[in-house]
Chains A and B, each alone.
Chain A
């Protein structure tokens, strides 16, 4: 318990260090770059350019790993034995909460290693983007609102993007996805409504105005993540188990 407590404190302190480091522009830029890619790819290709972030990230992984090990041992030594001895729901629930937490951490780790992620891909009507064994073709960029707003800076643009200023149900991109030169789908992607193909997701993040052009383009994220659905399932299970635990242990003062 004492070890887990100090690890918890270390993890909090480490995140606080992160919030301070992020004030540096270089650290912020490197962090954004890390988030735009699969972390494993970033570690191999780009991490050497930002040693401070690399050290911080390794520290985070080490504390996280120690915490997971501590949870496993704690779960076996205290919670698992207690749940075998007692038939009451409390130790069983405590055990489940800790198991779900470790699973969530493992799923985070998995999503950093397996799959791929390409962010901020700029596409215009008629353009194409090749990745993995796929090719993405943009058939149409449909933007019905004021294109002058897209030329503004992000914060200013956001003020105009009200329900009346940005019709998210009418603005879309029409895409065709080819796998080994064979068309596998043609679909429209809207804001907050990505295209799915198995574990592959094509997400429309922004409409933007390319330089020296009067026709809007789009920025998309292409990601293959095998763990997202599982992550949400275990996240929900974690919340439910904590809630049940709270209800059964809600003692009257």
Chain B
């Protein structure tokens, strides 16, 4: 309920406080997406979109450093819309939602992390605690696309099946949630205002939520494997990494008392576990 309430408050602010910007941006995005994009969208435009988003992220990192908070929020909304454009665009170009190529999955992951970061930026309890670190982290993740080929994976007939797309999409969503959790965890390490427990609590909530979403994706993947290979799991590198990611997401909930005496101690161990999840995802499977 808490999440829904926050979502409601976010949209309320979104529409009433930033009514002018919101109306123009959302209206323009929807119209371009529905009418123009299917006709003109190519992989080239996705690359342009990627560079525009990256530029906006650089601007936001500079704004964070210079402590221009209102402007950071405003640019943040444009980054969110730009990521949404990439998400819709990748579907229009390839005919499927992002699957495993990092050129489309990393923007998808960042879209989720940006959305959650903007959502929590509106909460009065620990205002501005997570947003400062959010933008540099999202920028780094976005820039990681340079390490991979800038191309979209081709269509495969199995993508017609909803459980196949669920497997990929839920995994991407889970990683996006883990990224948001690590943002809070790192904020708890850097915190000097006794908000460490609150940030740790949020990181804990989102780590478990990420684990649930990840397990739902693995469930779909197991079903796919069952129909394709006759068994619910396969001894592969992918299976090893999936096990590692799930087990790492459980580390934070199983910390012995000795290792969680202070919020900082807990946050450091959580950050290591969440960081390893993201690294495991980025490694070639």
Contacts and interface: CB of A to CB of B under 8 A. Distances in A.
Interface string B181-204: 000000000000001001101100
Interface stretch (A125-133, A177-185, A220-228): A220-228
B235 A31 contact: yes
B148 interface: no
Contacts of A31: 235-236
A227 B248 CA distance: 27
A4 B254 contact: yes
B227 A203 contact: yes
B223 A232 contact: yes
B149 interface: no
A126 to B, nearest CB: 23
A239 B160 contact: no
B62 interface: no
B146 interface: no
A134 interface: no
Interface stretch (B14-22, B25-33, B51-59, B238-246): B238-246
Interface string A1-24: 110110011011001101100100
A235 interface: yes
Interface string A134-169: 000000000000000000000000110111011010
A21 to B, nearest CB: 10
Interface stretch (B100-108, B132-140, B210-218): B210-218
A161 B157 CA distance: 6
A228 B226 contact: yes
Interface string B216-260: 100100111011111111111100110110011011001111110
B219 A236 contact: yes
Contact of A19 (B198, B205, B226, B244): B244
Interface in B146-173: 154-158, 160-161
B242 to A, nearest CB: 9
A93 to B, nearest CB: 12
A225 B231 contact: yes
Contact of A163 (B126, B157, B208): B157
Contact of B154 (A119, A159, A203): A159
Given A15-B244, A223-B231, A242 B251 contact: no
Given A192-B158, A203-B229, A205-B229, A8 B125 contact: no
Interface residues on A, range: 35 or more
Contacts of B160: 163, 168
A159 B229 CA distance: 20
Contact of A239 (B3, B219, B255): B219
A211 interface: no
Contacts of B205: 246, 250-251
B235 A205 contact: no
In this complex, the interface size class of chain B, counting residues with CB under 8 Å from chain A, is 35 or more
Nearest to A162: B155
A35 B234 contact: yes
B66 interface: no
B247 A168 contact: no
Given A4-B254, A12-B244, A193 B227 contact: yes
B272 to A, nearest CB: 11
A184 to B, nearest CB: 19
Given A34-B235, A163-B155, A242 B240 contact: no
B209 interface: yes
Contacts of B247: 8, 11-12, 15
Given A19-B241, A22-B240, A232-B223, A253 B251 contact: no
B240 A228 contact: no
B157 A205 contact: no
A223 B161 contact: no
A19 B3 CA distance: 37
A246 B205 CA distance: 7
A231 interface: yes
29 contacts: A1-B256, A8-B247, A11-B247, A15-B241, A19-B241, A108-B233, A117-B230, A161-B156, A162-B156, A163-B155, A165-B157, A193-B227, A194-B227, A203-B227, A205-B228, A221-B231, A225-B231, A228-B226, A231-B222, A231-B232, A232-B222, A239-B215, A239-B216, A242-B212, A243-B212, A250-B205, A252-B125, A253-B123, A253-B199
Interface of A: 1-2, 4-5, 8-9, 11-12, 15-16, 18-19, 22, 31-32, 34-35, 108, 111, 117, 119, 158-159, 161-163, 165-166, 168, 191-194, 201, 203, 205, 221-223, 225, 228, 231-232, 235-236, 238-239, 242-243, 245-246, 250-253
